[in-house]
Chains A and B, each alone.
Chain A
Amino acid sequence: MTLPVSNFGIYVHVPFCTVRCGYCDFNTYTPDELQRADAAETWAESLVKEITYSLEQIEKPQILKSIFFGGGTPSLLSPEILKKIFTKVSLEFNLAKDIEITLEANPDTITKEIVKTWIDLGINRISIGMQSSDSAVLKTLDRTHNPENVKKAVNILQAAGLSNFSLDLIYGTPGESLTSWEQTVTTAIELEPPHISAYALTIEPGTALYRKTKLQQIPPVSADDQADKYLLLDKILSEHNLPWYEISNWAQPGFECQHNLNYWNNQNWWGYGPGAHSHIAGVRWWNVKHPFSYSKKLTEEKNAIEEKEILSTAQINLERVMLALRLKSSDLKEIVPNATLINWLREGYLKEDLNNFELTPKGRLLLDTLVNQLT
Chain B
Amino acid sequence: MTGPTKQGVGNFLAKQGILIAFVIFMIGFALANQRFIAMDNIFGVVRSSAILGVMALGVTFVVIGGNLDLSVGSMMSFSTIVVLDLHDKVGPALAIPMMFALTLLLGAFIGFLVGYLKLNSLIVTLGMLSAIHGLTLTWSGGKNMDIADKSGTWFSFFGQDRIMGIPVPILIFALLAVILSMVLSKTPFGRKVYAVGGNGQAATFSGIPRARIVFMTYLVSAFCVATAGLLQASRSLGSQNTVGQGMELEVLAAVILGGASLLGGSGTVFKTVIGVLILGFIQNGLLLVGLDFYVQYMVTWAIIILAVWLDVAAKRGRLWSPIA
Determine if chain A interacts with chain B.
no
